[in-house]
Homo-oligomer: A and B are copies of this chain.
């Protein structure tokens, strides 16, 4: 049990700090975006409290909930998106981190309900193809979480554009999910700009597959 306590304390630090990447890259305004992390081996997650300014997020303010969003530890109410995060953790055991933003370009694709086509080598690397669109869903029950899981379960993409809402991203841990949130906005923006003056050239499926596989095995440090 002391070990779990340390893991939770570390995750609260990590998740508090990772919100700084959302503001650094301009993905969030005011308080409208959140990061969570699964507590490995426990039916618990750590997540941003609701409506708290990013400047004031410290490890102490991050809350711990069960995977149905019930508060387990912390003084503040959890993010209003907690149910969606929990649904993802309950149904995708490989996921260790979830991020939600309303970053402008990704949300614009979501507002039109259009997937982002895979026309950049970086998209092939990171997303393995297009970034898919999830259903329109109201907040307040399982429908957002179910929409995320049903869209991502059979996709290589760690990002889904929820209709009229914005992107949700997943990763093996919270940092990977934050990276996906940064990257989905970057490709949403670049592909948007490319489309403004004409049509980008597509990339063949074989080339997409080759880039996707290579990136998984060669990029980064061992």
Contact = CB atoms under 8 A, between A and B. Distances in A.
A200 B164 contact: yes
Nearest to A191: B111
A12 interface: no
Given A197-B192, A201-B113, A76 B221 contact: yes
A51 B186 contact: no
A121 interface: yes
Contacts of A164: 119-121, 200-201, 203
Contacts of A49: 221
A112 B207 contact: no
B183 A29 contact: yes
Interface in A182-204: 182-183, 186, 189-201, 203
11 contacts: A29-B182, A77-B221, A104-B190, A109-B194, A111-B191, A111-B200, A114-B197, A121-B139, A122-B166, A138-B207, A196-B197
